[in-house]
Amino acid sequence: MVELIHRSPDIYKIDVPLTGNPLKNLNCYVIKDGGESAVIDTGFRTEECWQALKGGLSEIGVSPEHTKLLVTHLHSDHIGLAGYFNYPDTTIYMGKVEYEYYRRMKEGDLMGRIDQQYRLEGFPEDELQDAIKTNPASIYLPDATFPVTTLQEGDTVTVGGTTLTAIFMPGHTPGQMIFYIADKKIMFLADHLLFDITPNITKWSGIDDSLRQYMNNLERLLDFDVDLPLPAHRNLSNKTLEDRVAEILAHHAVRLNQILKVLEKQPGATGYEVAGGLTWSMRGRAWKDAPNRQKWFAVGETLAHIEYLMAENKVCRVKKERNGKMIHTYELV
């Protein structure tokens, strides 16, 4: 489904389905101005996503062979089909920090380090192996890296007479970029702010306190004058950025307090055990019955909150041996 949501420049929204995923869809935005075009994000590397994206682009007269592609971040629902745009007449843009992290995921040992992080947090090996095999975050990534033009804070991309400014907003990922058309007060939010669901904030290997980084950058949104905020998933909204930022910050305050209560009742719990004591949207399933890939995301988000609490000196980590293996456990300070 293609929808024209703004004129001058013309901005279209292509609904790319993410079947079977709680996110439900990706909002792929396409900008057309002065005979030029730019596509923002792609969907999973699946045939269903490709057909939906290709069909939508064809409907509005845009070819992957002759356009600009802006990849906001490394999650597979945003970068998955980027390799399909790897043509001489198409330029792929991505944040410098984000692309380097993505390259390490694909070509280095970063994924192995992430897996080991989960083992240290008490994630059962059989569940971890199942999560690795079924996790859309990894299985729907592009097959390989591809050449990009990297962006940093304040860099611009032009589409005809339209100028998009890159804004560095890490937290959801190590180097997510969002884009701002200042004279039109339009902001492409990627996953930095969503209106129907709360973006997942996880513990990234080698990145310190991603939740604090995210919350600080969430408040930074309020420095910009925005009339049309465009999220990467679900519905657009009439809510103001101020109202939605306040809602998301309140959500994380509740989650932080829940973790403190779990550790009060269960001192010495692992990250996996803390996550199991929290409330999640699992379609009515109990923690023990939840898909392992959903547990993987839940544990990562729990660790980000625990790291925040450790920096606040409210929680401490204690390494212990359990069943012959060293693990991380947590206690209140």
If DSSP states are collapsed to H, E and C, what string results for 233-269? CCCCCCCCHHHHHHHHHHHHHHHHHHHHHHHHHCCCE
Query: Which tokens sit at 294?
Result: 């959903």
pLDDT digits (tens, 9 = 90+) for 156-206: 999 999 999 999 999 999 999 999 999 999 999 999 999 999 999 999 988
Listed as own residue / partner, the contacts of 278-284 with beta carbons closer than 8 Å and 24 or more positions apart are 278/302, 281/22
Per the CB < 8 A criterion, the answer to whether 19 and 48 are in contact is yes
Q: Which residues pair with 158 in a beta bridge?
A: 163
Domains defined along the chain, listed by start: 2-112+137-239 (3.60.15.10), 249-332 (1.10.10.10)
Q: What percent of the chain has pLDDT over 90?
A: 90
Q: Which residues have C-beta within 8 Å of that of residue 136, sequence separation ≥ 6?
A: 21, 44, 76, 77, 293
Token representation of residue 298: 């839940």
Q: List phi, psi (to 5°) of 323.
A: 55, 40
Pair type for strands 68-71 and 36-40: parallel
pLDDT digits (tens, 9 = 90+) for 202-240: 999 889 999 999 999 999 999 999 999 999 999 999 899
- Over residues 267-281, the pLDDT tens digits come to 999 999 999 999 887
State pLDDT tens for residues 54-74.
999 999 999 999 999 999 999
The stretch 251-272 carries a mean pLDDT of 97
Please determine, for residue 282, whether its predicted confidence score (pLDDT) is greater than 70: no
Rounded (5°) CA angle 315-321-325: 115
Rounded mean pLDDT of 79-84? 98
Assess whether the previous peptide bond of 170 is cis (omega < 30° from 0).
no
Task: Say if residue 109's pLDDT is above 90.
Answer: no
**CA-CA distance, 85 to 243, in Å (whole number)?**
37
* Residue 74 DSSP code: S
Which pLDDT band, with edges at 50, 70 and 90, does 283 fall under?
A: low
pTM, two decimal places: 0.95
Determine the longest span between alpha carbons in the chain, in angstroms.
Answer: 65
